[in-house]
Structure 1
Amino acid sequence: MAERPLHEHTLGNGLRVVVCEDHVVPLAAVNLWYAVGSRHEQPGRTGLAHLFEHLMFQGSGNVAEGEHAALMESAGAAFNATTSFERTNYFETVPVSHLELALWLEADRMGTLPAALTQVNLDNQRDVVKNERRQRYDNVPYGDAFEHLCALTFPSGHPYAHTPIGSMEDLDATTLDDCRDFFATWYAPGNAVLSIVGDVDPEETLALVERFFGHLPAGAAVPGAADGRLGPISKLTTRHVTADVPSPGYFGMLRLPADGTHELEAAELATEILGGGSGSRLYDRLVRRDEIATELGASVIRFVDGPSAALIQAMGPDTEAIAAAIDEELEAFAANGPDEDEAVRAVALAERGFLESTETVTGLANSLSQQATQFGDPARVFSAPARAAAVTSADIQNVAARWLAPGARAVVTYGAAE
C-alpha cells in the first residue's frame, strides 16, 4: 500500500483527529483509541479497564441502555471494542450516510457516560465479564496459560504482570465510585485519538468532528504510568499445571525489546523464522523431523511502555523433550543466525501482515489510531514494510543472542493428573 494523504487536526480540548480518504466503497470507519489499558490499573482493581469497555455500551446522557447497539445495527454497522494492556479502542464501520450517527454516539459517551452509570448496569456488566473469564480462561483447556506466563515473565506489581481480564476478586470489589474515577481520569478528549477512513470529504468530516466533540471539556492531565522497562529474562522459570487437557502442552514466553525500536523489528523477524508457521525452524524440527510435537507456533506481542513478548506454543506428549529441542534450536540460531532465504521470507511475511492489517477501511483506521496514540505519528503505519526490510541478518542474529537465549524464559506446561 502506498502512503496516503492524511488530514490531521487537534481540537481545542486535545482530541487528536486523523482523516484519510478512501473512495473505493461508500463506507466510513470510525476508530477511537483511548490511551488506557490494564497496565494503568491500580492494585486490587485489575480488570477495570476491560469492565469499563463493557459499561461504555450501557448508555450515556442522551442514549438509553441498549440504544447504542440498536442504533448501530439499524444503520447496518459493524461495531465492537477491545481492551489490551496499553489501550482501549472503540470502532464502527458504517455506510457513509450514517457517519454523523457514529460520531454523535461516540461523542455522547465520551462526554456524558457517568449519567448512565448505575449499580444495576455495573452489576450486569460485571457478571458478563466474569462469565467471559469463565468461558475463555477458566473453563477451557490451556485457557489460563497466558495469565501464568505474564505472572512468571514480569515481576509482581509490574504493569504487565496481570492480564486485561482481571481477577474475579477484583471485579467483585469494583464500585461505582471506582468507575466514575476511572472515567474522569482516562476518558477525556486529550487522552484519545479519533481516526476516520473512508468515502469522506476531509474538510466536511473535520467540521463534523468539531461539531460533535469540540464542546467537550479537555479533562485533567492523565497521571504518568509506572515504569515498565525491563531487560531480557535471565533464567528459566517454570510452572506445571495439572488439568484435564487433550494433550500435554508447552507454553513459553520471552521478553523482547519495546515497540518502536529497530531491535524489536529484528526480534519479530527472528521469532517468525524460529516459529512462524510450517516453514519455521521449530516446526521443521519438532513436528516434521523429531515428531515430538503435533502443533507448533510462535508470535510476538508488541508493547510500547515496556518489553514486548515472544510466545512459543507446542503440543506433544513429552514437554521435556520439546523444551530441550527448543533450547537446541535457539542456541544454534544465536550462534549462526538466519540464512538468506529465511531472512527474505520473514521480511515478505511482515509485508503481507501489514497489507492484511490495512487492506480495509476498518483495519487502516485502527492502525492510524494506534500509531498516533503510541508514537504520535499516524503516517508511521505506512513505513512498516520499510522498517522490516531495513533489518539485516546480523541484526536478527544479534537480537536472538541477547533476547532469545536458550534456557532463559518463562514456561508453563500442562499435563493430566497421574
Structure 2
Amino acid sequence: MPLDYPVHERTLTNGLRVVVSPDPSVPNVTVNIWVGVGSRHEASGRTGFAHLFEHLMFQGSRNVRSGEHFEALMAEGGRLNATTWFDRTNYFETVPKGALELALWLEADRHGHLLDAVNQANLDNQRDVVKEEKRQRYDNQPYGNALIDVYAAVFPDGHPYHHSTIGSMEDLDAASVDDVHAFFRAHYAPDNTVLTLCGDVTPDDGFALVERYFGSIEQNAQTRRPPVEPLGPLTEPVRVERREDVPNDRLHIAFRLPVDETEEFSAASLALDALGGLASSRLVRRLVRREQTALGVHATSWGFVDGVSLGFLVLDVAGESDTDAVEAALLEELERFAVEGPTEAEMDAAMAQAERGWLSMLASQEERADALSHYALLHGDPGLVNTHLDRLRAVTPEQVRAAAARWLRPESRAVVAYRADVETEEVA
C-alpha cells in the first residue's frame, strides 16, 4: 500500500510552486526551499557560482543585515542551513510555529532582494570563505579530491556533471560583481523555485502566508534548457592514478547509471547494494571476510536528472595486499553478477535496506520536507514520496541482473586509485 503523507500543492501567479504537508505531531514547521540551480547549470569559466550563492544568501539582503538570518531564527530556537548539489541549491529552517512568519519574511527578502547587498566586499569575503572550505574539505583531507577525479573521469569534458559543486577557484577569482548579479537573475526566480512547508500548519494558512511574503516577487520566466542527451555506459575503462600520503590504498570504481526515478536506475541501485552496499554483500563477504584483502567496501548510487546518474564502489585495501589483485577480484564479481543476478537473499536484503532507509528518512519532518521539494522541483510531483517504495518493490531480480549487465560491466568502469606513497602523482 502507498504511504499517505498529506501533500497539498499550489502555484502562485509568479510561478512559485508551494507544497504544504501538515503534521501537527510537534509544534514546529520546516521551511524547505529548492532552487533549480546547481553546479550542472554553470557555464564553462563560471564554475562554483551555485555554491558561492549558498554562502552569499546569508550575507544580507535589502532589509536584513549580514548574519541576521542565522541570528534571528536561532534566537527563536530555530535550526537552519543550506546545501548545494549538482541539480539544485537548498535552503531550509525548522522553527517553532510562532516563528514561521519570521522565517518566511527572511527567506522572501533574500530570494527577492538579495542583490541589494551583493557588493564587491561581500563577494571578496565569501570567495575567501569558499577557498578555505576547499582547503579544509578537499585539499587537506586524505582522498579529499577523489570524487572530483571521479566526476571528471566518468563524464566527458563540458558535460554538466563533469565538474564538482566546489568549482574552480580560478573561475571564482575571475568573477566580477556583474557576473554574480547576472547568475542570480538567471536562476533565482519564483518560477524556478519550490517552497515546502512541513509541520504544524494547515494548507490554507500555509498557502496564505507564502502568498503574503512571496507573492510580490517578480516572475522571471526565462527559457530553461532541457536535459542534455542521455549518456550510455562508458565504452572503455578510464583510469586515474594518484600517489599521495594516505593511510592505505583506496579504489573508487565508478559507473554511469540511468536517469533518476526510472525503473532501470532503481534496478542498478539495487545491484550496487547487493554487490557492495550491505554488510552481507558479496564483495564484503569475499574481500573483507574471506580473503581479508580489503578493510571495507561501500557502494553508492546518486540519481541525477540531466541525462545520466552516477554509481560507485569504494574499496579500502588492507595492509600489504596487492591493490591490482583486489581490483581484479572485484571485476570477477561484476562479471559473475551480470550473468547470475542477485540471489533471493541478496534481493531481499537490498530491498529491506532500501525500504528501511526510505521510511527512516520520511519519519524526520525535516527530511520529509526535503524529499517533497526534491520530487516537486526535479520530477514535477511531490506526491511521489508516497509511491516511491511501491515502484521500488516492483523491480524484479531479472531487471537487477539486466541493469548490472548493461551499466556495471568491467569495461564501463572509471577507476580513481589512490596509492599510499608520496611519489609524484601520475595520471594515465
Q: In the aligned structure 2, how far is the partner of 1:389 from the partner of 1:226?
A: 28
Residue 417 of structure 1 corresponds to 422
In 2, the alpha carbon distance for the partners of 1:195 and 1:125 equals 28
1:82 equivalent to 2:76? Answer no
Distance 1:40 1:85 in 2: 8
Aligned counterparts, 1:231-246, within 5 A = 231-246=232-247
SS at match of 1:295: strand
2:314 match: 313
Change in 2 beyond 3 A, CA 1:335/1:278: same
SS in 2 for 1:294: strand
Higher mean displacement: 310-319 or 41-50: 310-319
Q: Give 1:384 deviation, angstroms.
A: 1.4
Deviates more, 1:344-353 or 1:391-400: 344-353
Task: Give the conservation status (yes or no) of the 8 Å contact 1:159–1:228.
Answer: no
Partner of 1:136: 137
Return 5+ residue gaps in structure 1 as ranges. Answer: none
Aligned to 1:112: 113
CA distance in 2, matches of 1:345, 1:291: 23
Q: Residue by residue, what CA displacement relative to the aligned partner does 1:136-179 show, whole Å, maximum 9, x if unpaired?
A: 11111100000111111111111100000011211211111111
After TM superposition, give the deviation of residue 220 of structure 1 in Å.
3.2
- Residue type of the alignment partner of 1:352: R
Question: Aligned equivalents of 1:35 and 1:388: distance in 2?
Answer: 26
Deviation at 1:345, TM superposition (A): 1.4
Deviation at 1:118, TM superposition (A): 1.1
Counterpart for residue 203 of structure 1: 204
SS at match of 1:296: strand
Q: TM-score, normalised by structure 2?
A: 0.96
1:344 aligns with 2:344: no
- Return structure 1 stretches of 4+ with deviation > 6 angstroms: none
Partner Cα distance (1:235, 1:290) in 2: 29
Amino acid at match of 1:321: A
Structure 2 residue aligned with 1:249: 250
1:91-132 deviations in whole A, cap 9, x for unaligned?
000011101011111111111000000111111111111111
* Secondary structure, aligned partner of 2:241: strand
Q: Tell me which residue corresponds to 1:397.
A: 401
Matching of residue 156 in structure 1 with residue 157 in structure 2: yes
Distance 2:402 2:268 in 1: 9
State the partner residue of 1:21: 22
Cα drift, residue 218 of structure 1: 0.5
Structural RMSD (CA): 1.1
In structure 2, the partner of 1:98 is: 99
AA aligned opposite 2:6: P
> Where in structure 2 are the equivalents of 1:1-400 lying within 5 Å?
2-224=3-225, 227-316=228-317, 317-400=321-404
Deviation (angstroms), 1:405: 0.8
Q: Is the 8 A contact 1:111 1:216 kept in 2?
A: yes
5+ long unaligned stretches in structure 2? 424-428
Change (3 A) 1:113 1:360: same
Quick one: which of 385, 404, 408 aligns to 2:412? Answer: 408
Q: Distance in 2 between matches of 1:74 and 1:237?
A: 51
SS in 2 for 1:2: coil
Residue correspondences, number: 418
Q: Structure 2 counterpart of 1:244, which letter? A: D
- Inter-partner Cα distance in structure 2 for 1:205 and 1:149: 42
Q: Aligned-pair distance for 1:353? A: 1.3
Question: 3-state DSSP class of the match of 2:46?
Answer: coil
Contact 2:227 2:307 in 1 (8 A): no
Contact 2:270/2:400 (<8 A) preserved: yes
Deviations 1:324-355 (A, max 9, x none): 01100000000000111111111111111111
Q: Is the 8 A contact 1:191 1:222 kept in 2?
A: no
1:189–1:216 CA contact under 8 A, matched in 2: yes
Normalising by structure 1, what TM-score?
0.98
1:228 shift after superposition: 5.0
- Shift of residue 225, structure 1, vs aligned partner: 5.1
Aligned-residue sequence identity (percent) comes to 51
In structure 2, the CA distance between the partners of 1:226 and 1:387, relative to structure 1 (3 Å rule), is closer
d(CA) in 2 for partners of 1:114 and 1:222?
22
For the Cα contact (< 8 Å) 1:78–1:92, is it kept in 2?
A: yes
Once the 2 structures are TM-superposed, how far is the Cα of residue 226 of structure 1 from its aligned partner?
5.9
Match of 2:426 in 1: none
SS of alignment partner, residue 278 of structure 2: coil
Contact 2:234 2:411 in 1 (8 A): no
In the TM superposition, residue 289 of structure 1 has moved relative to its aligned partner by 1.1
Q: Distance in 1 between matches of 2:118 and 2:221?
A: 20
Which string of whole-angstrom CA distances, capped at 9 and with x for unpartnered residues, describes residues 217-238 of structure 1? 0013143156152001121111
> Residue deviations 1:34-63, cap 9 Å, x none?
011000001111111000110001001010
Q: Which moved more, 1:314-323 or 1:5-14?
A: 314-323
AA aligned to 2:422 is: A
State the AA in 2 paired with 1:53: E
